[in-house]
Amino acid sequence: MGELLFLGLIIVIVCSAFWVVISPNLVHSATSLLITLFGVAGLYVFLYADFLAATQIVIYVGGILVLIIFGVMLTNKIDKPVIVANSSNKIIGLFISGFIFSMLSIIVLQTPWNINPDSSQGPSTVELIGHLILGKYLLPFELISILLLAALTGSAMLARKKIDDPLPISDDLSKEKKIDNDITKENLDNKEKEGDTNG
Amino acid sequence: MDNLQIYLLLSSLLFSLGIYAVISRQNAVAILMGIELMLNSANINFIAFNRFTSNLNHLDGHVFSIFIIVLAAAEAAVALAIIINLFKNIGTVNVNEASELKG
């Protein structure tokens, strides 16, 4: 039963990943990426990584994929019925990726991996991960939180609308504006006087 | 199921599919999807090695893959901000047409 489920999971992951890469419709690509990420979360369950599976679903499927779909929708004209994603360089890409895949497969199959014989399920991973994050990996954890904050504020600043005429910041600027206003007032007054004399 | 090589083969397949997407796709969002596939394959590798080659109470690979997930979130946010700016400036997200440095 478990073997069958595992096989089905691998087939689902591989097929949806292929469709992500070769689909001509961008929305179909995003949807198959959703299926791929769910399949990878199931793979984590088979690897006894329950916390990672939940994190994968919450962050990847709930966060990153929604962000990507936002990107798809925001960067296309809304009256297009099908969002097209063309491919080019197919032969070069096939050659390079096939080469990398064959090299990696040879390496994977020929290396004598040092496998630990005791591979039964251990205790729950949540407690151990918590101890590791707040103990051994405290500094990288804090650093990555700062990095995430910087990246999110930076991207919000990049993506927002530009303000056309900014407000005067210093006193000098406001004084200049006042002078400009005075000049225009004088011009208006002169014009009115001219109009009076003409009339 | 209890075989390390299956996981490694699957992750290398996902990695090469991501490389193929990065090389051959023209839409910037599709390239971003390829990068997400590659990051996922790295995550599978970390967790598979942690499961098969370390002790039960050592979960360093899990912590590393959590860091990778956070980095993927930050990268996706910044990349989408850049892509949206690209679309505002030149009206397309085709990476072949974005060939000017300033414009």
Contacts of B83 in chain A (CB under 8 A): 71, 75
* Of B11, B4, B47, B41, the residue nearest A114 (C-alpha): B4
Inter-chain CB proximity A122 and B56 less than 8 Å: yes
Q: What pLDDT, in 10s, does the model give residues A150-198?
A: 999 999 888 887 766 555 555 555 555 555 555 555 666 665 565 555 5
Task: Give the structural domain span for B17.
Answer: 4-90
* Of A68, A37, A59, A80, the residue nearest B83 (C-alpha): A68
Neighbours of A115 (CB within 10 A): 13
CA B7/CA A108 separation, integer angstroms: 10
Please indicate, yes or no, if residue B53 is contained in any of the structural domains: yes
Helix pair angle (B28-53, B4-24), 10° resolution:
170
Q: In B1-103, which ranges are E strands? A: none
Please indicate, yes or no, if residue B9 is contained in any of the structural domains: yes
Name the residue facing B30 among A29, A63, A92 (closest C-beta): A29
Inter-chain CB proximity A115 and B52 less than 8 Å: yes
Whole-Å CA distances, A152 to A161, B72, B80: 16, 12, 11
Q: How far is A174 from chain B (nearest CA, A)?
A: 31
Contacts of B46 in chain A (CB under 8 A): none
Token pair of A192 as six digits: 């009115």
Write the CATH number for B76: 1.10.287.3510
Please indicate, yes or no, if residue B96 is contained in any of the structural domains: no
Contacts of B40 in chain A (CB under 8 A): 36-37, 40, 60
Q: Is the pLDDT of residue A122 over 70?
A: no
CA B52/CA A62 separation, integer angstroms: 29
Shortest CA distance from A38: residue in chain B: B40
Just give the CATH number of A1-89+123-131.
Answer: 1.20.120.1200
How many structural domains comprise chain B?
1
Q: How far is A166 from chain B (nearest CA, A)?
A: 20
Please indicate, yes or no, if residue B78 is contained in any of the structural domains: yes
Q: Specify whether the backbone of A127 is left (phi greater than 0), alpha (psi in -120 to 50) or beta.
A: alpha
Whole-Å CA distances, B61 to A20, A47, A52, A161: 27, 12, 10, 41
Per-residue pLDDT at A158: 86
Please indicate, yes or no, if residue B99 is contained in any of the structural domains: no
**Best mutation target, A20, A69, A160, to test chain B (most B CBs within 10 A):** A20
Token pair of A142 as six digits: 């804090």
Per-residue pLDDT at B69: 93
Q: What pLDDT, in 10s, does the model give residues A139-163?
A: 999 999 999 999 999 998 888 877 6
Exposed, middle or buried: residue A10 (CB in 10 Å: 0-12, 13-18, 19+)? Answer: buried
Please indicate, yes or no, if residue B98 is contained in any of the structural domains: no
Q: How far is A167 from chain B (nearest CA, A)?
A: 23
